Amino acid sequence: MNPVKVGICGLGTVGGGTLNVLKRNAEEITRRAGRGIEVAQIAIRSPKPQYDTTGISLTSDVFELVNNPEIDIVIELIGGYTLARDLVLKAIDNGKHVVTANKALIAVHGNEIFAKAREKGVIVAFEAAVAGGIPVVKAIREGLAANRINWLAGIINGTGNFILSEMREKGRTFDGVLAEAQALGYAEADPTFDVEGIDAAHKLTILASIAFGIPLQFDKAYTEGITKLTTADVNYAEALGYRIKHLGVARRTDAGIELRVHPTLIPADRLIANVNGVMNAVMVNGDAAGSTLFYGAGAGMEPTASSVIADLVDVVRALTADPTNRVPHLAFQPDSLSDHPILPIEACESAYYLRIQAKDHPGVLAQVASILSARGINIESIMQKEVEEQDGLVPMILVTHRVVEAQINEAISALEVLDDVVGSVVRIRVEQLN
Amino acid sequence: MNPVKVGICGLGTVGGGTLNVLKRNAEEITRRAGRGIEVAQIAIRSPKPQYDTTGISLTSDVFELVNNPEIDIVIELIGGYTLARDLVLKAIDNGKHVVTANKALIAVHGNEIFAKAREKGVIVAFEAAVAGGIPVVKAIREGLAANRINWLAGIINGTGNFILSEMREKGRTFDGVLAEAQALGYAEADPTFDVEGIDAAHKLTILASIAFGIPLQFDKAYTEGITKLTTADVNYAEALGYRIKHLGVARRTDAGIELRVHPTLIPADRLIANVNGVMNAVMVNGDAAGSTLFYGAGAGMEPTASSVIADLVDVVRALTADPTNRVPHLAFQPDSLSDHPILPIEACESAYYLRIQAKDHPGVLAQVASILSARGINIESIMQKEVEEQDGLVPMILVTHRVVEAQINEAISALEVLDDVVGSVVRIRVEQLN
C-alpha cells in the first residue's frame, strides 16, 4: 500500500520532533499502522530549517500546503488562534484530516472546527493538545467509555508544576524560580499563559468536554494562577500533611459542572501530590473504573511528537472506515452533547485552607470560629504558629470542611473586618482526590 | 440504529459487573458509541443468578450462546484455558467478535486465537485481561504507537501488592497477611497464581507482545513469587531508600527481550514505588514519550467491567470498518511480528540486593568484596547491621551495580562456600525505573 502523505505546518520544537520520530521509528510505525507515513511537504517561516528535510518539499505558505492535492493529512503545529484557525478550516474544507497540538485553538474554536469536520467527513485529532506525551485524551474518550465520569483533576502545566516543586523542595520564591525557568528556556519570555493558568484552562476545557459530553466552553472556566503563592503557604501546607499543586479540576454535580484551575492543597500521600518537576498527571474518577491516573511528560519535543504521531496512526486506520461510525471528536455523539451548565465559581464546592494574620490578642480564635460556625462552616484542622517577630502578628491556619465558595467568601469578608485581623485572608482550595 | 446484541458467558464477579454497568450507564454508553448495547443472552452454570436478568435469555450451555445467530459479540468471562479456548474458537468460527478478560487464555493460546480471528475477519479484544480498569492495553497499542518501546514494568497483581504493602506498612509477615487476605476474599483459596507470579506473568506476556511486536511466549517468561520475602528484607530495603514491589519487567536489549516477574527493589521516591494496597500501575518507557505511568484498580467487579465495555464500544465502532485496516490484535501487523528472542534469566541484567549472614569475624567484608570484584561486580552501597543477638551473625547488605544474572549467580555460589558465611545468600533484583 502506498504511504499516507502528510504535511507539517510549523517546524518548531514539536514539528521538528515529529519529523525526527517519524524518520527514526519509520519501521516500527509502519509495522503498527500497516502503512507508511511520508512527510510530503513542510510549511516553515524561515527558509533554513534546523532539521533534516532532504527530499521534502518546503514552502513558506501554509495555504499552499493545505491546498496541496497530494496531502491526505495536515499537521497543524503553528500555534495561536488566528492563522491556525484559518488553515485548519481550509484544510477541512479541502477534505483533509487534521492533527493538531494546539490546545488554545481546540478550546476556543473547537466547536466550530468539529462541526465543519463532521460536515466534510474528516477527523480533527488533538491528543497532543493535552498533557504532551500522555495518551489521556484516548484514555478518557475510549478507554473509559463505560463510565459515567464523576470528576477529573490534572497537573497539566509543566512550567507551573516545576515552579511549585522548586518552591517546596528548596524553599525558593515564586519569582526566583520563574526567572531561572525563563533563563533555562522552560518558561516562555511571557509566562502569563503558564503561571496564570490559561494554558491549563485550555487543556481542562478539552478534558471536561470529552469526560462529560458537553460542548467546549473555555470562556466559562474559572482560572486562578500561582503568582500569589508564598513559600510560607507552601510550608504551612506541608506541615498540615498537604502539597500545593496547580490543578485543573472538573467535577459533575447535579446543579452543573465545575470547571476550575487554581492552586490546590492535596494530601501528601496521594500519588498525584508526588508528581514533581515538569511532569504532568491526570486523575480521572469514573463510576465503574474508580480512580485512575495517567502520568508522563506534559510537553517537550518528542513526547508531544509521540502524541501527534499516535493521532496520525489513528487517522490512517480511519481512512478506510465508515465515516459515520468513528470515535466522535468530543467522545460523545455530536447530537447528544449535554447542556448541563458550567457552574460559576461561587457555586463550586471545596474545602479551604485559610491563613489569617491576627494580632496576638486573647479571643481572636473564638471570634474566627464563631464567624465560621455562624455560616455553617466546620473546621477540619487548625494550626497556630508562634508570634512573628517582625510585626507581632500570629499566623492562624485553618482547613475547613467542604463548603460552597459563596459561603467561604462571605466568611472571609466578615473575618477581614475584625479589628484583630490584619490584611487579607489567604484562601487556597483543598481537594482530597480519593 | 438497532442495538448491538451481545452474549455474556459466565455471570461471576466480572459478568455481574458488566451487566450492572451496561444497565446503569446505558444512556452514557449509547451517547458515546452511537448505538445501544443489548445483552441478549447469558450462559450461567447455576439457574439462579444473583443479578437482575429480567428479559435476558439464560442458558446453561455456553455453546448454545456462541451458536446463537442473534448475537454479534461474545463476552468470555468463564476463565480457565480449556472450555474458554473451545468456546472462543467456536465463536470466532461462527463469525462473532469476542471480548475477554481471560489473561491466561490470551497468554497461553493467544497466537492460535488471533490467527483464527484474522482468518475469519473478527476482533478478539482483551483490555480487561491486563490491569483491570486501567486502559493500558489501549495506551500501549494505540496511544504510544509512535514509540520504539524500551521497557515496561508493572505492578500487575493486586493481591501480591496488597501483601507487600501490609508487610511494609505494618511489619507483618507474608503468611499472616496472606491468611487475612484469604479470609477477606481478596486472595483465592489457592493463591498460587497470585503469590507465585503466574498471574503477573500472564499479563506481562501480553504487555510485552503489544509493546515489542513479538508473538505471545508465556512459556519463556521467568517467574519468581513473593513467598520467600521476609519482613527483614522489606525493612533493610526501606533503610537503603527502596521499596520492594512484585514487578513484571519486560526490556528490549540488542541480544533479546527480558521477560521476568520477581520481587524488585525500586527507589522509594519513584511514583510506582508508592502504588500501594490492591492498586495496579504500569510504567512504559518509549524512545519518544519517555516514561509514562498508568495507574488504577487492577481487579474487581466494576473496574474490570469498565474495560470489558470499553472493548465492546471499540468493537461496535469496528463493525462497519474495513476489516483489513483495524488495530492489530497484538498492536503490530501479524505479518511483521519480530523473532527477537526472549532471553533466559541468566542473560538478563539488573542490579542486585544481597543479604549475607556472616559470622562476626574481621576480614569477612574484605573476602566478600574480593569475590565480587574478581567477577567485575561493583558495589553501589553497603550496610552492615549490629550482631544479631540470637545467633551471633552479622547481616551484611549490599546493592550492586548492574550486572548479568549469570555473573551474580557465580558470585553467590562463591560467597556461600566461604567459612564465615552462613546459609544462603538472599538475592533480590533492583531496578531504577527512571
Query: Residue range B251-273: average pLDDT?
Result: 98
For strands A393-400 and A349-359, give the pairing. antiparallel
Residue B254 CB partners (closer than 8 Å, separation 6+): none
**Predicted confidence band at B350 (pLDDT cuts at 50, 70, 90)?**
very high
Closest CA to B108 of B249, B219, B230, B243: B219
**Phi and psi, residue A242, nearest 5°:** -120, 165
b (16+ CB within 10 A) / e for B112-125? ebbebbbebebbbb
Mean pLDDT of A13-36: 96
Q: What is the pLDDT of residue A389?
A: 64
Using the beta-carbon criterion (under 8 Å), do A327 and B317 form an inter-chain contact? yes
CA distance A144 to chain B (A): 6
Chain centroid to Cα B260, Å, comes to 10
pLDDT higher than 90, residue A385: no
Least confident of A172-181, A185-194, A376-385, A417-426: A185-194
Annotated binding site of A for NADPH: 103
How much is the pLDDT for A190? 86
Q: Which of A29, A139, A275 sits opposite B146 (nearest CB)?
A: A29
At A154, the pLDDT band (50, 70, 90 cuts) reads very high
Mean pLDDT, to the nearest integer, of A377-393?
84
Percent of chain B surpassing pLDDT 90: 90
d(CA A249, CA A268): 18
Of A24, A143, A300, nearest to B138 by CB-CB distance is: A143
Task: List residues of A with catalytic annotation.
Answer: 203
CA distances from B255 to A29, B219, B343, B344 (A): 22, 19, 8, 11
Binding residue numbers of A for L-homoserine: 188
For chain B, give the longest Cα–Cα distance. Answer: 82
Question: How distant is the Cα of B152 from the closest Cα of chain A, in angstroms?
Answer: 14
Q: What fold characterizes domain B145-297?
A: Dihydrodipicolinate Reductase; domain 2 (3.30.360)
- A146 vs B286, B297, B306: nearest CB: B306
Annotated binding site of B for NADPH: 103
Specify the 3-state DSSP secondary structure of B155.
Answer: strand
Name the band, by pLDDT with cuts 50, 70 and 90, for residue B200: very high
- How would you label A128-156 residue by residue, b for 16+ Cβ within 10 Å and e otherwise? bbbbbbbbbbbbbbbbbbbbbbbbbbbbb
**CA A79 from centre of chain:** 16
Per-residue pLDDT of A219-230, as tens digits, reads 999 999 999 999
For residue range B209-240, list pLDDT tens digits in order. 999 999 999 999 999 999 999 999 999 999 99
User: Residue B139: CB partners within 8 Å, gap ≥ 6?
Assistant: A135, A138, A139, A143, A294, B284, B292, B294
pLDDT, tens digit, 9 for 90 and up, residues B130-150:
999 999 999 999 999 999 999
Query: A295–B295: do the CB atoms touch at under 8 Å?
Result: yes
Where is pLDDT greater, at A322 or B418? B418
Contact predicate B139/B284, CB 8 Å: yes
CB contacts of B133 in chain A (<8 Å) are: 286, 288-290, 292
User: B97 and B123 in contact (C-beta within 8 Å)?
Assistant: yes
* Coil/strand/helix, residue A95: coil
* B279 and B161 Cβ atoms separated by less than 8 Å: yes
Nearest CA in chain A to B139: A135
In terms of CA atoms, which chain B residue is nearest residue A20? B288
Nearest CA to CA, how far is B16 from chain A (Å)?
12
Report how far residue A258's alpha carbon sits from residue A251's, in angstroms, rounded to the nearest whole number.
Answer: 5
Of B145, B331, B332, the CB nearest to A309: B145
Residue whose C-alpha is closest to residue A298's, from A217, A186, A198, A188: A186
With CB atoms and an 8 Å threshold, state whether A288 touches B147. Answer: no
Whether residue B110 is predicted with pLDDT greater than 90 in this model: the reply is yes
Q: How many CA atoms within 13 Å lie on the side-chain side of A49?
A: 25
**Closest CA in chain A for residue B128:** A143
Mean pLDDT computed over every residue of chain B: 95
Residue B384's pLDDT is 86
Q: Does domain B349-430 have CATH number 3.30.70.260?
A: yes
The number of C-beta contacts closer than 8 angstroms across A and B is: 239
Instruction: State residue B116's pLDDT score.
Output: 98
Q: How do residues B143-196 score in pLDDT, each as one tens digit?
A: 999 999 999 999 999 999 999 999 999 999 999 999 998 888 777 788 999 999
In the numeric block, which cell numbers belong to residue B131? 490491569
Contacts of A316 (CB under 8 A, 6+ apart): A4, A33, A34, A35, A37, A73
CA distance B372 to A209: 58
The residue in chain B having the minimum alpha-carbon distance to the alpha carbon of residue A268 is B274
- CATH 3.30.70.260-classified regions of chain B: 349-430
Contact A139 B135 (CB under 8 A): yes
The residues of B annotated with a catalytic role in the active site are 203
Residues of A in contact with B123 (CB under 8 A): none
- C-alpha B213/C-alpha A28 separation (Å) is 9
Q: Which residues of A touch B32 (CB under 8 A)?
A: 145, 213, 328, 331-333
Q: What pLDDT shows up at residue B321?
A: 82
Judge: B275–A274 Cβ closer than 8 Å, yes or no.
Answer: no
CB within 8 Å: B327 and A320? no
B89 near B58, Cβ under 8 Å?
no
Q: Residues B59-64: what's their mean pLDDT?
A: 96
The annotation places the binding site of B at: 9-16, 103, 188
CA angle (B193, B195, B198) in 5-degree steps:
35
Mutate to test the interface with B, among A2, A4, A28 (most CBs of B within 10 A): A28
| DSSP codes, B162-219 | HHHHHHHHH---HHHHHHHHHHHTSS-SS-HHHHTSHHHHHHHHHHHHHHHT----GG
pLDDT (0 to 100) of residue A391: 79
C-alpha B12 chain-centroid distance: 21
Question: Hey, which CATH number is domain A4-135+301-319, 2.40.160.100, 3.40.50.450, 3.40.50.720, 3.90.25.10?
Answer: 3.40.50.720
Binning pLDDT at 50, 70 and 90, where does residue A137 land? very high
State whether A31 and B288 contact (CB < 8 Å).
Answer: no
Interface touch A142/B135, C-beta < 8 Å: yes
Whether A287 sits inside 8 A of B25 (CB atoms) is: yes
pLDDT recorded at residue B386: 76
Parallel, antiparallel, or unpaired: how do β-strands B97-100 and B73-76 relate?
Answer: parallel
Are A24 and B287 within 8 A, CB to CB? Answer: yes
Task: Give me the mean pLDDT over the A241-259 stretch.
Answer: 98
> Start-end ranges of CATH 3.40.50.720 in chain A?
4-135+301-319
CB spacing of A289 vs B274 below 8 angstroms: no
Give CA–CA dist B126/A120, Å, rounded. Answer: 34
Q: Which residues of A are annotated as a binding site?
A: 9-16, 103, 188
d(CA B287, CA A407): 50
Q: Spell out which residues of chain A touch residue B300, defining contact as CB-CB under 8 Å.
A: 290
Q: Which residues, listed in sequence order, are joined to residue A42 by a DSSP beta bridge?
A: A8, A58
Other CB atoms within a 10 A radius of the CB of residue B287 amount to: 16
Distance from A64 to chain B by nearest Cα, in Å? 27
C-beta of residue A13 within 8 angstroms of C-beta of residue A301: yes
Are the C-beta atoms of residues B331 and B210 closer than 8 Å to each other?
Answer: yes
pLDDT for position A271: 97
Residues of A in contact with B268 (CB under 8 A): none
In the predicted structure, residue A184 carries a pLDDT above the cut 90: no
Q: Which of the pair, A392 or A85, is modelled with greater confidence?
A: A85
Q: Exposed (0-12), middle (13-18) or buried (19+): which is B334, by Cβ within 10 Å?
A: middle
Provide φ and ψ at B75, rounded to 5°.
Answer: -100, 115
Radius of gyration of chain A (CA): 24
Choose the closest CB to B144 out of A144, A269, A310: A310
If pLDDT is split at 50, 70 and 90, which confidence band does B47 have? low
- Segments of chain B assigned to CATH 3.30.360.10: 145-297
- Residue B389 confidence (pLDDT): 64
Whole-number Å distance between alpha carbons of B259 and B250: 5
Residues of chain A with Cβ-Cβ distance to B275 below 8 Å are 271
Percent of chain B at pLDDT > 70 equals 99
Ordered alpha helix ranges (H), B223-262? 231-239
Phi, psi at A252, each rounded to 5°? -90, 125
Confidence of residue A189 (pLDDT cuts 50, 70, 90): confident
Distance CA B170, CA A208 (A): 39
Q: What's the confidence (pLDDT) of residue B1?
A: 78
Query: Which grid coordinates are listed for B293?
Result: 505511568
What phi and psi values does residue B284 have, to the nearest 5 degrees? Answer: -130, 130
Q: Which residue has the higher pLDDT, A56 or B389?
A: A56
